[in-house]
Amino acid sequence: MHPMQRAFLKTPIGYIEVTGSANGIRTLAFLDFRVRPQNVPSGLRPCVNQLEDYFHGKLRSFDLKLDLKGSAFQLMVWNELIQIPYGLTISYIELAQRIGNIKAFRAVGGANSHNPISIIVPCHRVIGYNGRLVGYRGGLKRKKWLLEHEHAFAQRDLFYGKL
Could you give the residue numbers annotated as active site? 123
Cβ neighbours of residue 12 closer than 8 Å, sequence gap 6 or more = 55, 145, 149
Cβ neighbours of residue 91 closer than 8 Å, sequence gap 6 or more = 126, 127, 128, 129
**DSSP structural state of residue 117:** B
In the chain, the amino acid numbered 95 is L
E strand map for 77-152? 90-91, 126-127
